[in-house]
Amino acid sequence: MSFNEVVFRVICSFFVLFILTRLMGKKEISQLDVFTFITAITIGNVAASITTSKTLDIEDGIIGLVGWAVLTIIMGYLSLKSKSLRRMILGEPIILIRQGKIMENALKKARLDTEQFQGMLRNENIYSLKDVEYAIFEIDGSLSIMKTKDVKTKKNKTWKKTLLFPTSTAVVSDGEVNEDALSNLNLDKKWLIAQLERVGIKSISDVFFVEVQTDGSLYIDYREDHFNEEEN
């Protein structure tokens, strides 16, 4: 390609892309859903090809750009008009913790394990699942959290807990005992079984997640959590 042709291609692709992005609307990068994110990458690649590819005619490239943008606009319009179509295209928020209980099936649906989930919570400065009342996995991949009350008071007096451990530690994840985590706390599986039996749990297989709190108490999430249909 000659220098003049390259300049012409750059100018054309720039202004076509600028006009299309204005027509398609704008969102923060962190708010892009998966469909829009993939579309944005594809349109960007087509625009780059228009500028650099010797084998791609500029007319074909612009048609490709406009075609992707028009289809994206149409899908966006249809998703606004149809709730079922919007769910099919974008998905829907998934409740991962409800009333302080982990929803195991919801984690599977979101394709997350407990370690990944804990990492997302730590990014929100939450280091114990006990501090979470509700956690919702949004369609853009972010996590919305409603915390439990951070401070418990009685007659205007704050109750302070004695710290036995430096941080809350998961000792059962996805129904499996983490013996290394127990060992790091100078505890063992026998201690865990005894603590579970004290609260009426006869088998570790009955729990999905167990976390030792800094004061030595346990946060326990059962393998089966039941809620009224009206709360779903």
DSSP string, 77-135: HHHHH-HHHHHHHH---EEEEETTEE-HHHHHHTT--HHHHHHHHHHTT---GGGEEEE
Q: Residue 147 maps to which CATH number?
A: 3.30.240.20
Task: Report the 10 Å Cβ neighbour count for 155.
Answer: 4
Tell whether the model's pLDDT for residue 113 goes beyond 50: yes
- Among 54, 89, 124, the domain-final residue is 89
The reply to whether 198 and 111 lie within a common domain is: yes
Q: What is the DSSP letter of 100?
A: T
In whole angstroms, give the CA distance from residue 227 to residue 225: 7
Tell whether the model's pLDDT for residue 129 goes beyond 70: yes
The reply to whether 200 and 182 lie within a common domain is: yes
The reply to whether 9 and 75 lie within a common domain is: yes
The reply to whether 150 and 64 lie within a common domain is: no
The reply to whether 140 and 209 lie within a common domain is: yes
The reply to whether 62 and 150 lie within a common domain is: no
- Which structural domain range is residue 49 located in? 3-89
Nearest CA-CA partner of 120 in 139, 141, 140, 103: 141
| Per-residue pLDDT at 191 | 94
| Per-residue pLDDT at 28 | 46
| Per-residue pLDDT at 198 | 92
More confident residue, 98 or 8: 98
Compute the average pLDDT of residues 85-92: 74
The reply to whether 67 and 153 lie within a common domain is: no
The reply to whether 111 and 216 lie within a common domain is: yes
Tell whether the model's pLDDT for residue 27 goes beyond 70: no
Read off the pLDDT band of 182 (50, 70, 90): very high
In whole angstroms, give the CA distance from residue 178 to residue 180: 5
| Per-residue pLDDT at 149 | 66
The reply to whether 161 and 225 lie within a common domain is: yes
Read off the pLDDT band of 160 (50, 70, 90): low
The reply to whether 108 and 81 lie within a common domain is: no
Average pLDDT of the residues of the chain: 80
**How many domains are contained in the chain?**
2
In whole angstroms, give the CA distance from residue 200 to residue 72: 55
31-59 confidence digits (pLDDT tens): 556 667 777 788 788 888 888 777 778 88
Residues ≥6 apart with Cβ < 8 Å to 151: 158
Report whether 132 contacts 121 (CB < 8 A): yes
The reply to whether 62 and 139 lie within a common domain is: no
Sign of CA pseudo-dihedral 57, 59, 60, 65:
positive
| Per-residue pLDDT at 147 | 87
194-205 confidence digits (pLDDT tens): 999 999 998 999
More confident residue, 46 or 121: 121
- Among 89, 116, 131, the domain-final residue is 89
Residues ≥6 apart with Cβ < 8 Å to 80: 86
Amino acid symbol at 118: Q
Three-state SS at 116: helix
In whole angstroms, give the CA distance from residue 138 to residue 122: 17
The reply to whether 121 and 52 lie within a common domain is: no
In whole angstroms, give the CA distance from residue 14 to residue 173: 50
Read off the pLDDT band of 150 (50, 70, 90): very low
- Among 37, 57, 89, the domain-final residue is 89
Sign of CA pseudo-dihedral 172, 173, 175, 181:
negative
Tell whether the model's pLDDT for residue 63 goes beyond 80: yes
Report whether 175 contacts 181 (CB < 8 A): no
How many angstroms from the chain centroid is the CA of residue 219?
22
